[in-house]
A and B are shown apart, each in its own frame.
Chain A
Amino acid sequence: MTRMKPVDVVIVGFGWTGAIMAMELADAGINILALERGDYRDTSPDFAYPRSADELAYGIRGNLFQPLARETITIRHTLDETAVPYRQYGSFLFGNHVGGAGIHWNGQHYRPSPEDLEFESHITQRYGKKFMPEDMQIQDYGVSYDELEPFFDQFEYVCGTSGRAGNLNGEIKDGGNPFEGPRKREYPNPPVADNYAAKLFADAARALGHKPFPQPSSNASRPYTNSYGARLGPCNLCGYCERFGCYMYSKASPQTTILPVLMRRPNFELRTNSHVTRVNLDNTGKRATGVTYIDAKGQQVEQPADLVIVAAFQMHNVRLMLMSGIGKPYDPKTGTGVIGKNYAYQMMSTIGLFYDQDVAINPFASAGSGGNQIIDDFNSDHFDHGPYGFVGGGYILGGQTGGRPIQQLSLPPGTPAWGEKWKRAAKDSYLHTTGLQTHGSVMSYRDRYLDLDPTYKDSFGLPLLRMTFDWHDNEYKMTRFLTDRAQEIADQMKPRQSAQTVRKPGDHYDTRQYQTTHTTGGVIQGKDPNTSALNNFQQSWDVHNVFVTGASAFPQNIGYNPTGLIGGLTYRSVKAIRETYLKNPGPLVQV
């Protein structure tokens, strides 16, 4: 095995959190190495127009996604089933290459609600412990909204997030989200102009007494220079956002916001085509000595480092911890152990709205997130859940993220799947159709977890990650409630016809249908080493020189898109590393 020259910090995976960690630690003057399994990618030439406007290549074949041929996961619904591989993309998408999922996201940029971070305590206090089903095992993050506020702000000012504050230092502002936690200052940019469907939605929601506001969006609404000096251009609503790279330098990504500055730092090195397979421990098992990776030639390479940041995608973080033997693997039978614990997801529903020829929606004129309207009235604990018997919730969105015909064509109910009637419906409906979406939370449960598959392997012969997951009653109730509220708005929008897609009791988790890529948990943070893998600085309880970033730290899932919370948690962790840990390496939280 080749042994490389030691570095101070090695970062595994170079997406959002890897880039944030590297950028913030570069100022500390230490040597930083990032290892990325994919290739280098940048706006030019990789996302340049017109090649980027290729639905087949990016939207359907998934050119920016990790090739499942080499590595995937296996999935089963219950503990007593045999898991089978996720052979084709459906339910969620793994990012790949430098930038990771931070390239192909939509820029939907939220903060969590304050109660989301202390969810177990909050629900117990307001409704009592018995309000939760016995097998639900939600937990607190160990850090509060107020503690995280400066870091949410920091990330938004890096991303150039466009939006309108609804709560400035406790004062509720018209036109923003009145349910949000207090923010210290406005968004760095004003909202992107509404698309037409969003206007129709906001008018209807307002008429019903809800509080619509522009979806917070890391699609820049105007030219913007961020806190690092990187420059973004205004979004032109091209309609090729989710699943695509941004050719306009408008969507916040590591490439547009951090790399232009970071890549010039002499104490930072990036090695691509470097696939980390293990975090190495010393003979006490309490200290990491670096990582082992497979390089582009297929050679095993040992990279010694004083500090290891595990910053890959949520599922890859869990797998790497399991393969490295850091932290006790979770056992669903006893509910003990921590690695793989509390895998969660999100539950979506949609309502298609079909108008006559006199309503011109122009679905293609849209951004990934900018230009859409939201109501947050039924998210988190923004309403009294007492009468409804479930916990959690979600936002309801009106608007559109594109009108790409292979993926996004939506036809009225009753249309056949092919033939002359299908084609005629496509012709008649395309310009006159929009939809609402509900974006709901999923709680964590004792029998929903991640471990290593006993049978299937990746192309290196290493075990695949195994997911055991299906819906629980709490989530069926949540989505029914949220979809009923969405239907009231839909009816108020007065379409000719509408059609719901909602998951009902008895419907199993269907891996073929895309919902979100917001998979969470498995290396969760918390207050107690017996119930969490990380402390509230995302530092391993077991091996203090290992930090694990990203949504793998969420103890359960929220009703928002996760990136804003991920960024905030990462900025808080790296500040603690820079200001405290580097001076005095050891646990940042004493038990």
Chain B
Amino acid sequence: MDGLLKPPGNAMSDKLGSPSRRDFLRQSLVAVPAVSLLGTTALAQSQGGSAATATTPAYTPRYFTAPEWEFIQAAVDRLIPSSDAGPGALELGVPEFLDRQMDDAYGHGGLWYMQGPFVPDTPPTLGYQLRFAPRELYRTGIAAVDDWCQKQHKQRFSALTPEQRDEVLHGLEKGDIKLDQLPATAFFSLLLTNTKEGYFADPMYGGNKNMGSWKMIGFPGARADFADWIEQPGKVYPFGPVSIKGAKS
């Protein structure tokens, strides 16, 4: 049954992997956040319409500001880039996932104990001790990283080359880049964690469009019924994923 080990990639992958296509995708997804409360949906549709419909309907962020939205897209595109191995975070809608999470109880810190006193210099083994809810951590962190990039590169993070962006992300990950307002590692860690969440979560949360990550790794999503399969040890499960809302592949 080795024949079932089909490569999850497809013919589109090569095209998606090329830098020009990636950059095009990223640019086209930079929808300007609602400048007013009027007609945001219509705005999103008209702006996103032509360029990105083939991959993702345009999405207008509700929480992130225009510069933040550009940062998010430029960052997740490097954290999980698109290539012939499979889809990247950008084309799977991870920025939309992140923006929607910011408006959820989670983004507001509603799931965390957020009463003081805060002791931020506690040993890391005792867990998160900052006063920022996720949405505040993003806002503060993005501004701090953009400031740092302006000082170092005379450009915001989103305007840097992919190689420069990788370098900045590595600097944040290791804590080599020092930010004034918060530990760089805390911001990076949340950004990476949430990016992977959006990449692998059910598509109804805005990421993992068309169950792209599930198809890539071979996870059947919400099928959740393997009674027959347990008696066939060592064979690759043959069916593609389904989503909670009933999308099939």
Give me the interface of A with B, judged by CB distance under 8 Å: 49-56, 60-62, 67-69, 71-72, 75-77, 82, 84-88, 90, 192-196, 199, 234-240, 247, 357-360, 362, 364-366, 371, 403, 405-406, 409, 417-420, 422-424, 426-427, 430-431, 455-457, 508-512
B122 cross-chain contacts in A, Cβ below 8 A: 84
Question: Do residues A427 and B216 form an inter-chain contact, with CB atoms below 8 A?
Answer: yes
Partner of A236, one of B2, B227, B233: B227
- The answer, yes or no, to whether B237 is at the interface (CB within 8 Å) is yes
Chain A binder among B47-55, B144-152, B153-161, B195-203: B195-203
In angstroms, Cα B125 to Cα A511, docked, is 6
16 contacts between A and B (CB under 8 A): A53-B224, A54-B202, A55-B201, A69-B110, A75-B127, A87-B112, A88-B128, A194-B230, A195-B233, A240-B224, A362-B236, A362-B237, A418-B80, A420-B85, A431-B218, A508-B123
Whether A87 contacts B114 in the complex (CB less than 8 A), given A365-B226, A365-B229, comes out as yes
In angstroms, Cα B86 to Cα A499, docked, is 26
- The answer, yes or no, to whether B106 is at the interface (CB within 8 Å) is yes
Question: Which residue of chain B has its CB nearest to the CB of A234?
Answer: B227
Nearest first, the 7 closest Cβ-Cβ pairs linking A and B are A365-B226, A238-B224, A430-B217, A53-B222, A196-B233, A56-B201, A236-B227
Question: Do residues A419 and B81 form an inter-chain contact, with CB atoms below 8 A?
Answer: yes
Question: Do residues A512 and B202 form an inter-chain contact, with CB atoms below 8 A?
Answer: no
Whether A56 contacts B205 in the complex (CB less than 8 A), given A84-B129, A406-B200, comes out as yes
In angstroms, Cα B230 to Cα A68, docked, is 37
A403 cross-chain contacts in B, Cβ below 8 A: 219
Question: Which residue of chain A has its CB nearest to the CB of B87?
Answer: A423
Question: Do residues B80 and A508 form an inter-chain contact, with CB atoms below 8 A?
Answer: no
Question: Do residues A75 and B126 form an inter-chain contact, with CB atoms below 8 A?
Answer: yes
Whether A427 contacts B85 in the complex (CB less than 8 A), given A75-B126, A457-B115, comes out as yes
Question: Do residues A68 and B234 form an inter-chain contact, with CB atoms below 8 A?
Answer: no
Question: Do residues B236 and A61 form an inter-chain contact, with CB atoms below 8 A?
Answer: no
Whether A50 contacts B244 in the complex (CB less than 8 A), given A84-B122, A234-B227, A365-B237, comes out as yes
Partner of A417, one of B109, B128, B173: B173
Question: Do residues A86 and B111 form an inter-chain contact, with CB atoms below 8 A?
Answer: no
Q: Is the interface of B mostly helix, strand, loop or mixed?
A: loop
Whether A236 contacts B225 in the complex (CB less than 8 A), given A406-B197, A431-B217, comes out as yes
B246 cross-chain contacts in A, Cβ below 8 A: 50
Question: Do residues B234 and A418 form an inter-chain contact, with CB atoms below 8 A?
Answer: no
Q: Is the interface of A mostly helix, strand, loop or mixed?
A: loop
Whether A423 contacts B86 in the complex (CB less than 8 A), given A50-B244, A238-B225, comes out as yes
Question: Do residues A427 and B225 form an inter-chain contact, with CB atoms below 8 A?
Answer: no
Question: Do residues A84 and B229 form an inter-chain contact, with CB atoms below 8 A?
Answer: no
Give me the interface of B with A, judged by CB distance under 8 Å: 2, 5, 8, 78-81, 83, 85-86, 88, 106, 109-115, 117, 119, 122-129, 166, 169, 173, 192, 195-197, 200-202, 205, 213-214, 216-227, 229-231, 233-237, 244, 246
A457 cross-chain contacts in B, Cβ below 8 A: 115
In angstroms, Cα B229 to Cα A365, docked, is 7
Residue with the highest number of chain B CB atoms closer than 10 Å, among A67, A357, A359, A364: A364
Q: A53-B244, A406-B197, A426-B217 are in contact. List 9 more A-B contacts (CB 8 A).
A: A51-B244, A53-B202, A55-B202, A194-B230, A238-B226, A239-B226, A359-B234, A365-B237, A512-B128
In angstroms, Cα B125 to Cα A76, docked, is 10
Partner of A68, one of B112, B173, B233: B112
B88 cross-chain contacts in A, Cβ below 8 A: 423
Residue with the highest number of chain B CB atoms closer than 10 Å, among A51, A195, A431: A431
Separation in Å of the A381 CB from the closest CB of chain B? Answer: 31
Question: Which residue of chain A has its CB nearest to the CB of B224?
Answer: A238
In angstroms, Cα B226 to Cα A196, docked, is 13
B173 cross-chain contacts in A, Cβ below 8 A: 417-418
In angstroms, Cα B111 to Cα A56, docked, is 13
In angstroms, Cα B55 to Cα A465, docked, is 50
In angstroms, Cα B112 to Cα A84, docked, is 13
Question: Do residues A86 and B123 form an inter-chain contact, with CB atoms below 8 A?
Answer: no
In angstroms, Cα B237 to Cα A67, docked, is 37
Separation in Å of the A347 CB from the closest CB of chain B? Answer: 14
Partner of A56, one of B202, B224, B227: B202
Question: Do residues B79 and A405 form an inter-chain contact, with CB atoms below 8 A?
Answer: no
Separation in Å of the B100 CB from the closest CB of chain A? Answer: 11
Whether A87 contacts B213 in the complex (CB less than 8 A), given A61-B106, A422-B80, comes out as no
Question: Do residues A509 and B227 form an inter-chain contact, with CB atoms below 8 A?
Answer: no
Question: Do residues A417 and B192 form an inter-chain contact, with CB atoms below 8 A?
Answer: yes
Residue with the highest number of chain B CB atoms closer than 10 Å, among A49, A426, A509: A426
Whether A511 contacts B230 in the complex (CB less than 8 A), given A417-B173, A419-B166, comes out as no
B129 cross-chain contacts in A, Cβ below 8 A: 84-85, 87
In angstroms, Cα B94 to Cα A114, docked, is 52
Separation in Å of the A234 CB from the closest CB of chain B? Answer: 7
In angstroms, Cα B117 to Cα A168, docked, is 57
Question: Which residue of chain B has its CB nearest to the CB of A73?
Answer: B113
In angstroms, Cα B112 to Cα A3, docked, is 34
Question: Do residues A512 and B112 form an inter-chain contact, with CB atoms below 8 A?
Answer: no
Question: Do residues A86 and B113 form an inter-chain contact, with CB atoms below 8 A?
Answer: yes
Question: Do residues B202 and A371 form an inter-chain contact, with CB atoms below 8 A?
Answer: no
A71 cross-chain contacts in B, Cβ below 8 A: 113
Question: Do residues A84 and B115 form an inter-chain contact, with CB atoms below 8 A?
Answer: no
Separation in Å of the A98 CB from the closest CB of chain B? Answer: 20
Partner of A423, one of B83, B111, B221: B83
Separation in Å of the A527 CB from the closest CB of chain B? Answer: 36
Residue with the highest number of chain B CB atoms closer than 10 Å, among A71, A371, A422: A422
